[in-house]
Structure 1
Amino acid sequence: MGKTVLFVITSHDSLGDSGQKTGTWAEEVAAPYYVFKNAGWQVKLASVKGGKVPVDAASLQGDFKTAAVEKFLAESEAMAAFENTVPLSQVADSQPDAVFLPGGHGVVWDLPGNKTLDTLLEKTFAAGNVVSAVCHGPCGLLGAKTADGDSILKGKRCTGFSNSEEDAVGKSQVVPFLLEDRMKELGGRYEKAGNWTSFAIADGNLITGQNPQSSERVAQLVVAA
């Protein structure tokens, strides 16, 4: 049997009460999807509510619409899985080799505080399997704890969407918290590279990436682990 990776994607489509729409960031699903597929892994796509996933329209425009995104959008198997994601509640008891949390601003609202996700991540982490996330995806790691009751981030080298990048996209006053600050507050040894630079860290079975540009690298590190 090949290895299995479970993607847990946002189902949230609005930026707070700004009136703006959001969702997942297309590249952060598409690029890792193909890294795993090309490595012979089975890829399962789940989302908080299940069904069709909201996509941030900006991630489908200009240079953000990468070759991987183009390929993903044109492939019937990928799009069938993407438009019919499994509800998180139905995979809560699964035991994948890795869980991967792509970002997009939607996750800031519906992943933190999600007890079903926390339990899944805690079981995965405790079993020594890989817990991974990119960009805003680490928002989903904030509630997961070790057997000792500490954050799974405590003492771990980690990264995620930086305060300076949140400032750069003009969302610092829109999001309910800043991810960089929260990861540090939980005891994570937060590191970052320059804005929009590919940067990913593996520390044991925790693998995190800073921004959309890091999504492919995160998946490569998961496969290597």
Structure 2
Amino acid sequence: MTKALIVATNTPKFDNVNRATGLWLREATHFQQVMQDNEIEVAYASPKGGYIPLDPLCLSGDNMDQIDWTFYLNDEFRNHSLAASIAPDKINPEDYQVIYFAGGHGAMWDFPENKALAKIAEQVMGAGGIVSANCVGATVLLAMRTATGKRFTTGKKLTSFTNDEEALNGLTSEVKFLPEDELKKAGADFVKGDPFQPNVVVDGNLITGQNPNSATAVGEAVIKDLLK
């Protein structure tokens, strides 16, 4: 059976201001829904394992739709997927044909320099699997390297949360860095869409989405790649 590993942040708070953060729920649930609809088994991992915090803003108002509520109210999802995620040293990359890095601002603090997560992604891709990421989750690509030791991002077509979207959020001065800027500095061919509109970029076995509203489309692109 095809298996997908969803990776989310363990970071519950900005390190420079008193502001809670974590996983943006929609980025996980909407991707997982596509996987489930296509009978793909899903597991959750995080940089440290264990508890995955949720950004409180993602649970309010129009940020939640029926898919999000269905997962959020599911005991197995809350008590196992989010509360007992797998640590990197417990993961066998050979078990997964897809790895997906979900966003949420917390990922800025524990994805970009995480060699353990990067190594897992490198092994999944090296075995012919798919590396996918959405929004701020794409910052994990900064830690990845090619078989020859070069930066994985060099020359790769990809996207992530954009500078324009961060400015519209009013968080430009509060975030650790701007993902768009850092990915460009790392040699990426950055493909920007309209703010908060779905945008997915496919470059071989690398699939990236721009913002929370892209998570479903990233999942659909993964399925299309698997069916080739």
Give TM-score scaled by structure 2 length: 0.94
Amino acid at match of 1:183: L
Gaps of 5+ in 1: none
Counterparts of 2:156 and 2:203 in 1: how far apart (Å)? 6
1:78 offset after TM fit, Å? 2.4
> CA offsets per residue over residues 41-84 of structure 1, 9 Å max, x none?
01011111222210000000000012211010122332232222
CA RMSD after TM alignment: 1.2
The aligned residue for residue 163 of structure 1 is 163
The aligned residue for residue 196 of structure 2 is 196
Aligned-partner SS, 2:29? helix
Q: What does 1:210-225 align with in structure 2 at a 5 Å threshold?
A: 210-225=210-225
> CA offsets per residue over residues 105-133 of structure 1, 9 Å max, x none?
00000111111111111112222210000
Moved segments of 4+, more than 6 Å:
none
1:93 offset after TM fit, Å? 4.5
Counterparts of 1:72 and 1:110 in 2: how far apart (Å)? 24
1:94 offset after TM fit, Å? 4.2
> Contact 1:92–1:117 (CA<8 Å) still a contact in 2?
no
The aligned residue for residue 96 of structure 2 is 96
Mean CA deviation greater in 169-178 or 25-34: 169-178
Question: Matched residue pairs, number?
Answer: 224
The aligned residue for residue 40 of structure 2 is 41
Aligned-partner SS, 2:143? coil
The aligned residue for residue 134 of structure 1 is 134
Change (3 A) 1:13 1:92: farther
Amino acid at match of 1:46: A
Gaps of 5+ in 2: none
> Contact 1:126–1:146 (CA<8 Å) still a contact in 2?
no
The aligned residue for residue 207 of structure 1 is 207
Change (3 A) 1:154 1:97: same
Aligned-partner SS, 1:136? helix
- Matched-pair identity in %: 33
